[in-house]
Amino acid sequence: MEELILKALSSSNRVSKNALIEKIIPLGGGCIHKAWCIHFQNGKRVFAKSNHIDNINMFKFESECLLVLKRFANKSYIFVPKPLDLTIYQNKSILFLEWIDLTQSQQNLLGKGLALIHKSSSEWSQKKFGWEKEGFIGSNTQIGGWDSNWGKFFVNFRLRPQLIKAKEWGVRVHDYEDVLIFLSSYLNDHHPSSSLVHGDLWSGNCGSTKNGLGSLYDPASYWADREVDISMTKLFGGFNREFYQGYEEIWPLDKYSKDRIDIYNLYHLLNHANMFGGSYKENSLKILKDLRSRM
């Protein structure tokens, strides 16, 4: 694979700009793609990730999301890596990104930076919810399309497709139609602003840089209620008090936001159940049962 990356770089002046490569080091941690750090002799480093050519649309979607996030990111608080190139070589697709020097650091600027993305994008948005094209959430499809009604959008473009896919492990959408109708009305009564969200905000998809800034990467963005990001930060943990304090300093959440956490995280639990099975199935069904009890 290192040889394929070398050959791909030789045809990409946007990445190497004729700089000589010193070494290519494989990186761990990814569950979908393979990844590398490319070291150049001039000291520059570039991040590369690869997959089969059939999955190139995943990289196209990621690049689009990063560019939009970068447009609204305040550079004084948060760093979003720039896509440098997307290339095909033999049967592989390879995405090159700016390198991020990550460290275990305070999360205050990460929280503030996320809040500023949410706030500035909401002031610019067309008040619709969705994304122009079909995208991805993990390795599963994230449905594209738009709706000005937030409750209808979240139910029909996020929850319902995951429930339909869950038929493979025994879920029948018809059994939960009453819950979906309730959630559509309940969420729309919230009347959220339309903000650009990261969309897959667990601790493995964000961090802090060595110069103290927050950083976002591996997004699954769309225009949504900003609470979908905050809710996901509480699904798997990894975010400290500094993060939430930083966020609240910029754009406080309303006092009822906690009531919507399980609703928004149901999307991710169902997606994980559809990808990995295991306890995610039981957790998804439990939340569906709990939501029915609210009706």
Catalytic residue numbers? 200
Q: Report the b/e string of 243-273 with b at 16+ CB within 10 A.
A: bbebbeebbeeeeebeebbbbbbbbbbbbbb
Name the nearest CA neighbour of 212 among 131, 112, 67, 124: 112
From CA 234, how far away is CA 68, in angstroms rounded? 24
172 neighbors 257 (Cβ within 8 angstroms): no
Token duo for residue 149: 């009604």
286 Cβ contact partners less than 8 Å away, ≥ 6 residues apart: none
CA 261, distance to chain mean position in Å, is 17
Spell out the long-range contacts of 163-166 with Cβ–Cβ below 8 A and sequence spacing 24 or more: 163/270, 165/140, 165/270, 165/274, 166/270, 166/273, 166/274, 166/284
